[in-house]
């Protein structure tokens, strides 16, 4: 049957599954044929905050085929030590509707959570509210979403017009949903069967994100349009990339929608990276999934050869680097609009580009059809003044922003702009740190003002660009642009070394300048692991920080403290080469530091540096410290300087130039 129908009604041969707080009732529905009605329940009887880890735990995400993925739908919902949903239970139950309480789909943005329901036969999802990213994933898959009153009407035999389910959305989202999801919608758009709404041609001052989106609009017949927050538009993309955790799904979606012989119109604009799972099979919890991980790697190779996209596969087991870092080094340019299948895609905003992560279905559409759905985000601006003191880095700045602004949702789903005279004192690598961790701020993206540093950095890495070409592409916010999140001044002179408590990046604690090198309020925190590197902290400048502290420690006769394992992971092959050329690699080895080739690692719990027990303590320069992400231990977030200083003192210690004097 064509989906969705213009009139929605329940199929008498299908069932409704209520996810109740009483897990025994879920089992009765799954295994003993119990059928419930909404009129017999209240919303308070239904599970709230069903997170995507419950719907598809990490190990399920190694599956890419719909039939296999659906077999393990809700594998993370446990009761008395056992799975509530046995293998295949959702699919075999014949359910077309699934019902829950508030905030359905919280947590990770993994699209597999929505897919596990879709591929199990569920087409109508009922909840009191949805997490925004999960809701978008449902829309892209063509899942109809409604509330509990609608379900009562459906169970009473009423047929409800589809427009009642879609009227809550913007005009473009309505078109996507009413046409069966993003890929069927794109087909109809290309065939001229769908007309896009027109946008305002009335001139208005715009933020950087708004200006980039306005320049990329499609379907506006060449008219100069001006966008505002909340506008739903389609925008042409300049490029993107996927990695081995996601590419297999992209390939399957495209083959299913366009046939096995599908082609891409502009392969050089896109890339695949082998970076996320290089070290995963060396971690005990991922060992049982080695075969599935290899399948994902193999299918990425198939996709790359089939499409001809740029290839950043590992050679002899060594990756060219973490996708976000290599992309900014090699192909993200000023003014670009880039999307990729990872939440830290926003790192590219350091180059005055609009970059952010999307799900596999959205990426399959944009790589094939060269456009993306965009809901124009609100913006918040940070004007930087002054200069950082010698013990601080951009990581301390973003931890400060997390502590003062993100914690109060000031940055939520907004584009974070960075500018002001203080930005000139922050290098391009440090700007990348600010933009990278916009994700931890729950922002849409981060983007920096361009300047001469932008030009010089790009010219050193692009043989095909001139200074004039780069400067002419600069995107500056217009005078008078409106910022829904406000304009906030951050005096870099006042920033102190920051540490975020385990569990949440926004639980920051600044150092007390009267308390020497130690971070105020956390006391003497002895560590077992000091972990440096990752996309956030594996860049050229980060390694310069690591080298500076290590040199000072060696000069003072120190090596890595007893009982501490210190790891540094290179962000890319070029960073590794810089370290070797400068003699840093040899110096790190002399100090007892363990170096890891480029790629993702302990940051996603898939490499050396993961804690083994709950009583271990890690201080790390990665971007997020959610419980369990990097092992069962407690993980504090800090700057590259603080992490390296702590490696030599054996406890969390802020760096200062005289730290090791007299040792």
| pLDDT tens digits for range 156-175 | 999 999 999 999 999 999 99
Mean pLDDT of 570-590: 95
Within 8 A by CB and 6+ apart from 144, the residues are 4, 8, 123, 124, 125, 162, 165, 177
Q: Which CATH number fits domain 236-375: 3.30.870.10, 3.90.190.10, 3.30.420.40, 3.30.499.10?
A: 3.30.499.10
Whole-number pLDDT of residue 447: 98
Among 22-31, 82-91, 124-133, 418-427, which is the least confidently predicted range? 124-133
SS3 345: helix
Element (H, E) at 375: strand 371-375
Asked whether residue 513 carries a pLDDT value surpassing 70, the answer given is: no
Mean pLDDT of 410-424: 95
- Name the pLDDT band for 133 (thresholds 50, 70, 90): confident
Mean pLDDT of 413-432: 96
Whole-number pLDDT of residue 537: 84
| pLDDT tens digits for range 65-106 | 788 889 999 999 999 889 999 999 999 999 999 999 998 988
Whole-number pLDDT of residue 519: 59
Mean pLDDT of 200-204: 90
Mean pLDDT of 427-435: 96
- Name the pLDDT band for 342 (thresholds 50, 70, 90): confident
- Name the pLDDT band for 515 (thresholds 50, 70, 90): very low
Which CA distances in Å does 490 have to 398, 405, 500?
A: 11, 11, 19
- Name the pLDDT band for 605 (thresholds 50, 70, 90): low
Q: How far apart are CA 375 and CA 330, in angstroms?
A: 28
Do strands 144-146 and 239-243 pair parallel, antiparallel, or not at all (unpaired)?
A: unpaired
| pLDDT tens digits for range 648-663 | 999 999 999 999 986 6
Q: Map out the domains of the chain as residue ranges.
A: 7-168, 236-375, 509-663
Q: How far apart are CA 311 and CA 388, in angstroms?
A: 38
- The alpha carbon of 166 is separated from its chain's Cα centroid by a whole number of angstroms, namely 27
Residue in this structure with the two tokens 């990329």, named with its chain if needed: 216
- Name the pLDDT band for 619 (thresholds 50, 70, 90): very high
Whole-number pLDDT of residue 409: 85
Q: How far apart are CA 478 and CA 500, in angstroms?
A: 35
Higher-pLDDT residue of 35, 441: 35
- Name the pLDDT band for 403 (thresholds 50, 70, 90): confident
Percent of the chain predicted with pLDDT > 70: 95
| pLDDT tens digits for range 581-600 | 999 999 999 999 999 988 88
Asked whether residue 108 carries a pLDDT value surpassing 80, the answer given is: no
Do the domains 509-663 and 236-375 match in fold? yes
Within 8 A by CB and 6+ apart from 434, the residues are 350, 394, 397, 398, 416, 418, 426, 446, 448
Average pLDDT in the chain: 91
What's the per-residue H, E or C state across 401-466?
HHHHCHHHCCCCCCEEEEECHHHHHCCHHHHHHHHHCCCCCCCCEEEECCCHHHHHHHHCCCCCCC
| pLDDT tens digits for range 235-257 | 999 999 999 988 998 998 899 88
Kindly write down the DSSP assignment for every residue of 503-558, as one continuous string.
T-TT-EEEPPTTSTTSPTTT---B-SEEEEEHHHH-SHHHHHHHHHHHHHHHHTT-
Whole-number pLDDT of residue 64: 77
Q: Which CATH superfamily is domain 509-663 in?
A: Aconitase, domain 3 (3.30.499.10)
Where is mean pLDDT largest: 45-59, 357-371, 414-428? 414-428
| pLDDT tens digits for range 294-318 | 999 999 999 999 999 999 999 988 8
Asked whether residue 502 carries a pLDDT value surpassing 80, the answer given is: no
Q: Which residues pair with 106 in a beta bridge?
A: 51
Q: How far apart are CA 398 and CA 119, in angstroms?
A: 40
Percent of the chain predicted with pLDDT > 90: 70
In whole angstroms, how large is the CA radius of gyration of the chain? 25
Other beta carbons within 10 angstroms of residue 262's beta carbon come to 16
Whole-number pLDDT of residue 279: 82
Nearest to 538 by CA among 370, 329, 346, 381: 329
Which CA distances in Å does 491 have to 383, 496, 511?
A: 8, 11, 16
Sign of torsion over alpha carbons 540, 545, 550, 552: positive
Assess contact for 423 and 537: CB atoms under 8 A.
no
- 615, with CB counted inside 10 A (0-12, 13-18, 19+), is exposed
Asked whether residue 286 carries a pLDDT value surpassing 80, the answer given is: no
Asked whether residue 484 carries a pLDDT value surpassing 50, the answer given is: yes
Q: Which CATH number fits domain 7-168: 2.30.30, 2.60.40, 1.10.3470, 3.20.19?
A: 3.20.19
Asked whether residue 523 carries a pLDDT value surpassing 80, the answer given is: no
Whole-number pLDDT of residue 43: 96
Mean pLDDT of 115-139: 93
Asked whether residue 470 carries a pLDDT value surpassing 80, the answer given is: yes
- Name the pLDDT band for 406 (thresholds 50, 70, 90): confident
């Amino acid at each position: 049957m064509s989906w969705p129908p213009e009139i929605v009604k329940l199929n008498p041969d299908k069932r409704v599954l209520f996810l109740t707080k009483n897990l025994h009732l879920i089992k009765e529905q799954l295994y003993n044929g119990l059928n419930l009605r909404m009129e017999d329940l209240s919303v308070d009887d239904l599970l709230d905050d069903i997170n995507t880890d419950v719907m598809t735990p990490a190990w399920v995400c190694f599956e890419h085929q719909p039939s296999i993925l659906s077999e393990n739908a809700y594998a993370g919902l446990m009761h008395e030590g056992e799975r509530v949903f046995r293998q295949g239970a959702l699919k075999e139950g014949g359910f077309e509707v699934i019902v829950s309480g508030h905030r359905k789909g919280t947590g990770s943005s993994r699209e597999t959570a929505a897919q596990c329901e879709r591929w199990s036969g569920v087409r109508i999802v009922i909840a009191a509210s949805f997490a925004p990213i999960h809701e978008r994933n449902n829309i892209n898959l063509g899942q109809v979403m409604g509330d509990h009153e609608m379900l009562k009407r459906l169970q009473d035999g009423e047929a409800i017009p589809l427009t009642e389910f879609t009227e809550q959305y913007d005009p473009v989202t309505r078109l996507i949903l009413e046409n069966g999801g993003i890929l069927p919608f794109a087909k109809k758009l290309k065939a001229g069967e769908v007309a896009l709404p027109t946008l305002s041609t009335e001139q208005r001052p715009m933020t950087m994100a708004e200006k980039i989106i306005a320049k990329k609009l499609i379907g506006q017949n060449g008219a100069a349009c001006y966008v505002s927050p909340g506008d739903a538009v389609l925008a042409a993309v300049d490029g993107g990339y996927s990695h081995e955790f996601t590419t297999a799904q992209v390939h399957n979606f495209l083959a299913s929608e366009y046939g096995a012989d599908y082609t891409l119109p502009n392969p050089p604009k896109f890339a695949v990276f082998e970076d996320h799972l290089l070290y995963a099979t060396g971690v005990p919890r991922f060992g049982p999934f080695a075969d599935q991980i290899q399948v994902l790697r193999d299918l990425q190779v198939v996709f790359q050869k089939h499409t001809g996209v740029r290839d950043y596969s590992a050679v002899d087991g060594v990756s060219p680097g973490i996708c976000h870092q290599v992309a900014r080094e090699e192909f993200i340019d000023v003014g670009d609009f880039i999307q990729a299948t990872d939440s830290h895609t926003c790192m590219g905003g350091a180059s005055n580009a609009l970059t952010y992560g999307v799900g596999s279905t959205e990426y399959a559409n944009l790589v094939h059809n060269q456009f993306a759905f965009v809901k124009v985000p609100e913006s918040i601006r940070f004007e930087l003044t002054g200069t950082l003191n010698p013990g601080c880095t951009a990581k301390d700045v973003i931890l400060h922003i997390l502590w003062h602004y993100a914690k109060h949702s000031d940055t939520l789903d907004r584009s974070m702009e960075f500018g002001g005279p203080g930005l000139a004192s922050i290098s391009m690598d440090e700007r990348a740190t600010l933009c990278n961790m916009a994700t931890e701020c729950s922002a849409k993206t981060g983007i920096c003002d361009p300047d001469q540093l932008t030009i010089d950095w790009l010219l050193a890495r692009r043989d095909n660009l001139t200074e004039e070409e780069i400067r002419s592409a600069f995107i500056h916010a217009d005078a008078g642009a409106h910022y829904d999140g406000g304009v906030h001044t951050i005096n870099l002179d006042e920033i102190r070394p920051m540490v975020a408590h385990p569990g949440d990046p926004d639980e920051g604690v600044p150092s007390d300048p009267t308390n020497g090198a130690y971070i105020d309020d956390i006391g003497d925190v002895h560590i077992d692991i000091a972990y440096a590197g990752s996309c956030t902290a594996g860049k050229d400048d980060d390694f310069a920080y690591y080298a500076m502290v290590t040199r000072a420690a060696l000069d003072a006769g120190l090596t890595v403290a007893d009982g501490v394992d210190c790891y540094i992971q290179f962000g890319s092959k070029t960073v590794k080469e810089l370290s070797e050329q400068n003699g840093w690699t040899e110096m790190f080895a002399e100090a007892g530091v363990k170096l890891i080739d480029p790629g993702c690692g302990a940051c996603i719990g898939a490499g050396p540096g993961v804690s083994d027990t709950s009583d271990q303590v890690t201080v790390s320069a990665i971007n997020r410290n959610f419980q369990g992400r990097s092992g069962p231990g407690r993980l504090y977030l800090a700057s590259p300087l603080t992490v390296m200083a702590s490696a030599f003192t054996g406890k969390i210690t802020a760096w200062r130039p005289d730290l090791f004097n007299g040792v």
